[in-house]
Structure formats: structure tokens, C-alpha cells
């Protein structure tokens, strides 16, 4: 962007090339992406998780944000597609390292896929960034207990209501 051109940037050699991007276009793209994300949220609330994944994907294509990736990660969690949830949470964290939901979603996917030690790191970071987050604190304690039991060779209590949000399964390869 060039502030010399009043919010208009002209791309190409020596500032020419005919492609003009302005603040109105950016606002239009943001608005379109937000509308698509809201449609994804409605689908998620209706339990239409695959359709929600598609909507969030459309929003990401318009304008990739940590929020859109974290929302799609939640839809993948609901579908028990943990590797995809982890990948989207990774993208959310890459786009905004201070977005707590990125860490929470990835921690949840790690926990659900039987990787409590990795989940501990994410829940610790979520709690560090947002100490009043009771859900992250509770999940951190669950993960720490699982890791402690694993280190002693005990089986984890898979019937814990806090852990029962998602069925456990083997980790899927990252796409």
C-alpha cells in the first residue's frame, strides 16, 4: 500500500501495470469473507460439519485469518478429523500467535488423538495468554494427569467427562 496514493496501490513495474487495489475492495473482501464465515458458523450450530468446513474454506480463500482457521479446526474436531484440525490450528497460530483459540483447538485435537504430552504445551500456552480461561485450565489439568499416569505406566481414565468430548483414535497423517 502506498499512503502517497490515498490508500490506493498500483502494482507493476515502476508503479504501473494497471492492477489497482484500494481500501474499498479490501473492505468488500473482508465483508464477503465474514458473511461466508457466519454461514459456516450457522452450519456448525446445525451439526452440518462438512458443510461448515467448506464454508470456512471459502472464507479462508477470500481472506485467511486465524479466526477462520480456528473455526474450521473446530468443525474438523467435530468430525474427528484430528490431523486436519491440527493443521488448521497450526495455520491459526502462524497467522496470529496471540490467538488463544488456536492453541486451545490444537490442544484439543492432540488430546483427542491420544497425544496428551503435546496437548499440555498448547493448553499451557492458552492459560499463559489467558489465565482466566477456565476451560483451558481444566483441559491442562486433564492432560497433565494423563501424562503423569503414562509416565508411571498406568492406563489413562478414558471415561473422564472432560476428556469425553471426542473419541480417541490413532493420529492421522498430516496432509
Compute the distance between CA of residue 174 and CA of residue 106 in angstroms, rounded to an integer: 13
pLDDT at 135 over 60: yes
pLDDT at 154 over 90: no
Compute the distance between CA of residue 66 and CA of residue 75 in angstroms, rounded to an integer: 14
pLDDT at 47 over 90: yes
Residue 133 is predicted with a pLDDT of: 95
Residue 3 is predicted with a pLDDT of: 39
pLDDT digits (tens, 9 = 90+) for 3-14: 333 443 333 344
Q: Are 28 and 58 in contact (CB under 8 A)?
A: no
Q: Which pTM does this prediction carry? A: 0.75
pLDDT at 117 over 50: yes
Residue 25 is predicted with a pLDDT of: 80
The better pLDDT of the pair 53, 156 is held by 53
> Of 155, 154, 156, which is closest to residue 143 (Cα–Cα)?
156
Cα–Cα distance list, 134 to 111, 123, 141 (Å): 17, 11, 11
**Mean per-residue pLDDT for 26-49?**
96
Cβ burial, residue 95 (10 Å; 0-12/13-18/19+): middle
> Of 59, 48, 129, which is closest to residue 93 (Cα–Cα)?
129
Q: Which helix (H) or strand (E) holds 93?
A: helix 82-95
Amino acid at each position: 500500500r502506498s499512503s502517497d496514493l490515498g490508500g490506493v496501490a498500483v502494482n507493476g513495474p515502476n508503479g504501473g501495470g494497471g492492477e489497482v487495489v484500494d481500501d474499498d475492495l479490501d473492505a468488500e473482501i473482508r465483508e464477503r469473507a465474514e458473511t461466508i464465515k457466519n454461514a459456516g458458523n450457522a452450519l456448525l450450530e446445525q451439526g452440518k460439519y462438512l458443510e461448515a468446513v467448506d464454508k470456512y474454506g471459502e472464507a479462508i480463500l477470500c481472506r485467511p485469518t486465524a479466526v477462520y482457521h480456528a473455526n474450521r479446526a473446530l468443525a474438523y474436531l467435530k468430525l474427528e478429523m484430528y490431523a486436519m484440525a491440527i493443521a488448521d490450528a497450526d495455520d491459526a497460530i502462524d497467522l496470529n500467535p496471540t490467538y488463544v483459540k488456536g492453541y486451545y483447538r490444537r490442544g484439543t485435537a492432540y488430546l483427542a488423538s491420544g497425544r496428551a504430552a503435546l496437548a499440555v504445551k498448547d493448553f499451557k500456552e492458552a492459560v499463559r495468554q489467558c489465565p482466566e480461561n477456565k476451560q483451558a485450565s481444566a483441559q491442562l489439568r486433564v492432560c497433565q494427569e494423563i501424562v503423569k499416569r503414562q509416565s508411571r505406566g498406568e492406563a489413562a481414565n478414558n471415561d473422564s467427562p472432560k476428556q469425553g468430548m471426542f473419541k480417541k483414535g490413532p493420529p492421522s497423517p498430516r496432509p
